[in-house]
Amino acid sequence: MSSPLASTAYLNGKFMPLAEANINVMTHAFNYGTACFEGIRGYWNEGRQQLYLFRMRDHYERLVKSCRILSLEPPGTPEELNQITIEMLRQDNPHHDVYVRPLVYKSSLAIGVRLHNVDDGFVLFYALLGKYIDNQSGCRCCTSTYRRVDDNGIPARAKITGIYVNSALAKSEAELNGFDEAIMLTHEGHVSEGSGENIFLIIDGQLVTPAPSENILMGITRASVIKLARRELGIGTIERQVDRTEMYIADEVFMTGTAAEITPVGEIDRRAVGAGGIGPITAKLQELFFQAVKSELPAYAHWCTPVYQSVTASR
């Protein structure tokens, strides 16, 4: 699914070879999961010979909010982090899709569980990431036996590295049982999200998705889909509690995320969703989304940050 391809990384204020961007085994974040991160996709537009970073500022704004929850100090403003990211990519000059990973982490070489009196660090690198779920005709999902961590346990609205143990347990359970992905419920038994994706149902021509109160990450792809559906298709979105069995009888189901993009769900708990493949509304949203991320929809060009200066601009 993923493999390193970069030669350059950025660690605590310096660009350096990726192979040298290492941390000590005593690093607090390595031992306790005390870090926040983002995943930012960059899409290569062959026709324009341009790499577009999708909603990069929104990702860095969310990173700053995650840092606030975990008592971390971000290394700069979202705009400053944008510029560091662009400079890193320009140094390597990739002409293909990329996946950018910034992390703010507790960097002290210290044993002891706490968030206070611990130094902070920052690392930025990128890698190749293909299809996160390799089943675009309709992935097979199961309801996980692992419940989604509650906001009063580990705040789900922050992308905290330690919370992804919850996701890893659910993901491995699903794959080892022959499914592509897991769907986690809240402790009250309502649908929350996948191991790394938000989830949408299409019921009677409307999008239905779990509300922020259902321990979901407030996904940036999620927000993009809601806007595309409303503006381009005239389809509204209802955010509310969703029962497990509603997924079985929905007309269509799909998952969204930076890694997952828009992934149709064809089966849940061995029950076909709709006709069992990608539905017509999901297909249209996919088409719109992949046009938007390559800056091919003028109304959403502001979502895409170009990495390289155009020939005209450089003259």
pLDDT band for 136, please (50, 70, 90 cuts). Answer: confident
Domain identity same for 195 and 110: no
Catalytic residues: 159
Question: What is the rounded CA–CA span in Å between residue 230 and residue 300?
Answer: 13
1-13 residue pLDDT tens: 555 566 899 999 9
Domain contains 179 = yes
Domain contains 309 = no
Domain contains 239 = yes
Is 178's pLDDT higher than 60? yes
Domain count, the chain: 2
pLDDT number for residue 85:
98
Domain contains 312 = no
Domain contains 244 = yes
CA–centroid distance for 19 within its chain: 25
12-33 residue pLDDT tens: 999 999 999 999 999 999 999 9
CB atoms within 10 A of CB 189: 10
CA–centroid distance for 283 within its chain: 20
Q: Are 100 and 15 in contact (CB under 8 A)?
A: no
Domain identity same for 178 and 278: yes
Question: What is the rounded CA–CA span in Å between residue 281 and residue 277?
Answer: 12
Is 312's pLDDT higher than 60? no
Domain contains 204 = yes
Could you tell me which residues are beta bridge partners of residue 44?
Answer: 51
Q: What is the CATH number of the domain that holds 67?
A: 3.30.470.10
Q: Last residue of some domain: 129, 150, 175?
A: 129
What are the tokens at 262?
Answer: 């828009």
pLDDT number for residue 5:
61
DSSP assigned state of 310: P
Domain identity same for 123 and 220: no
Is 236's pLDDT higher than 70? yes
Domain identity same for 163 and 108: no
**Above pLDDT 90, what percent of the chain?**
91
pLDDT number for residue 314:
39
Q: What is the CATH number of the domain that holds 212?
A: 3.20.10.10
Domain identity same for 108 and 154: no
Q: Which residue has the higher pLDDT, 129 or 172?
A: 172
Domain identity same for 255 and 107: no
